[in-house]
Structure 1
Amino acid sequence: MRIDRITLYSVPIDVGMELTRYVSSQSINPALDVLVVKIETDDGLVGWGEVSSAPPYYLPELSAGAREGIRHVSPVVLGRDPRQVAAILQDISAALRGHGNAKTALEMGLWDLAAKAHGLPLIDLWGGRVSDSLPVLAVVRIGTRDQTLAAFDRERKKGYSRFQIKVGGGEIHEDIETIRMVEEIALPHERLWYDPNRGWLVDDAIRVIKALRELSPMIENPCDTYEECRTVAQRTGVRIMLDEVLDSPRRFLEAVENQVLDVASLKTSCIGGIEATRQAMSLARILGVPVRIEDYYGSGILLAAVTHLAHTLPRNLVFGLYDYVSDDLPLVKNPFRVINGEIRLPDDCGPGLGVEVNEAILGDPVAVLGPA
Structure 2
Amino acid sequence: MKISHLTITAIDIPRASVLTTAYGSLDSATTLLIEIHTDEGVTGIGQVSVDAPFYGETAEGMLANIRTHIAPALIGENPFDIVRLNHVMEAVLPHHWGSHSGVDMALWDLKGKALGVPVYQLMGGKVREGVDLMGFVHFGPPDQMAAEAVEKLDEHAYPVLKMKIGLNPQEDVIRYRAVAEAVGDRAVIQVDGNTGYTIAQALQALPAMERIGSLGAIEQPVARMSDLAELARRLNTPIMADEAIYPPEDAIRVVEKRAASIALMKINKHGGLTNVYRIGTIFGAAGLSLSIAIYYDLIGVAAAHLAAAIPCVTWPSPATAMMDTIVATPFAPDGLLLKAPDAPGLGVELDWDKVRHYARTE
So what's the TM-score if we normalise by structure 2? Answer: 0.87
Tell me if structure 2 keeps the 8 A contact 1:160–1:340.
Answer: no
Match of 2:169 in 1: 172
- State the distance in 2 between where 1:123 and 1:309 align: 7
Structure-to-structure mapping, 1:215-294, within 5 angstroms: 215=213, 217=215, 218-236=217-235, 238-294=237-293
Aligned to 1:138, what secondary structure does the other structure show? strand
Cα 1:207–1:91 shift into 2, 3 Å: same
- State the distance in 1 between where 2:82 and 2:66 align: 16
Match of 1:190 in 2: 187
In terms of mean alpha carbon deviation, does 333-342 or 14-23 score higher?
Answer: 14-23
Cα 1:31–1:182 shift into 2, 3 Å: closer
Match of 1:330 in 2: 325
Tell me if structure 1 keeps the 8 A contact 2:193–2:221.
Answer: yes
- State the distance in 2 between where 1:40 and 1:244 align: 33
The one-letter code matched in structure 2 to 1:334 is T
Q: How far does the alpha carbon of each residue in 1:147-206 deviate from its partner, in whole angstroms, 9 at most, with x for none?
A: 44432332222242221111233x422222332333334454633211122211211110
Match of 1:3 in 2: 3
Whether 1:66 aligns to 2:62 is yes
Cα 1:182–1:322 shift into 2, 3 Å: closer
Q: How far does the alpha carbon of each residue in 1:195-218 deviate from its partner, in whole angstroms, 9 at most, with x for none?
A: 122211211110112334443833
Match of 1:356 in 2: 349
Match of 2:111 in 1: 114
Q: How far does the alpha carbon of each residue in 1:326-369 deviate from its partner, in whole angstroms, 9 at most, with x for none?
A: 3x3321101421122211224xx2110001011223339889xx
- State the distance in 2 between where 1:189 and 1:198 align: 28
- State the distance in 2 between where 1:319 and 1:64 align: 34
Tell me if structure 2 keeps the 8 A contact 1:83–1:118.
Answer: no
Cα 1:99–1:358 shift into 2, 3 Å: same
User: Once superposed, what is the RMSD of the aligned Cα atoms?
Assistant: 2.8
Tell me if structure 2 keeps the 8 A contact 1:37–1:49.
Answer: yes
In terms of mean alpha carbon deviation, does 135-144 or 245-254 score higher?
Answer: 135-144
The one-letter code matched in structure 1 to 2:21 is T
In terms of mean alpha carbon deviation, does 29-38 or 355-364 score higher?
Answer: 29-38
Where is the helix percentage greater, Structure 1 or Structure 2?
A: 2
- The offset of 1:30, in angstroms, is 11
The one-letter code matched in structure 1 to 2:284 is R
Tell me if structure 2 keeps the 8 A contact 1:216–1:238.
Answer: no
- State the distance in 2 between where 1:142 and 1:104 align: 29
Gaps of 5+ in 1: 368-372
Tell me if structure 2 keeps the 8 A contact 1:82–1:117.
Answer: no
Aligned to 2:77, what secondary structure does the other structure show? coil
Q: How far does the alpha carbon of each residue in 1:11-35 deviate from its partner, in whole angstroms, 9 at most, with x for none?
A: 12344543333328xxxx9986210
The one-letter code matched in structure 2 to 1:341 is L
Match of 2:339 in 1: 344
- State the distance in 2 between where 1:227 and 1:118 align: 45
- State the distance in 1 between where 2:220 and 2:139 align: 19
Match of 1:370 in 2: none
Match of 2:161 in 1: 163
Identity %: 26
Tell me if structure 2 keeps the 8 A contact 1:216–1:239.
Answer: no
- The offset of 1:62, in angstroms, is 2.1
Tell me if structure 2 keeps the 8 A contact 1:325–1:335.
Answer: no
- State the distance in 1 between where 2:300 and 2:324 align: 13
- State the distance in 2 between where 1:196 and 1:134 align: 23
Q: How far does the alpha carbon of each residue in 1:114-171 deviate from its partner, in whole angstroms, 9 at most, with x for none?
A: 11111111111111111134311221136667644432332222242221111233x4
Aligned to 1:211, what secondary structure does the other structure show? helix
- State the distance in 2 between where 1:188 and 1:282 align: 33
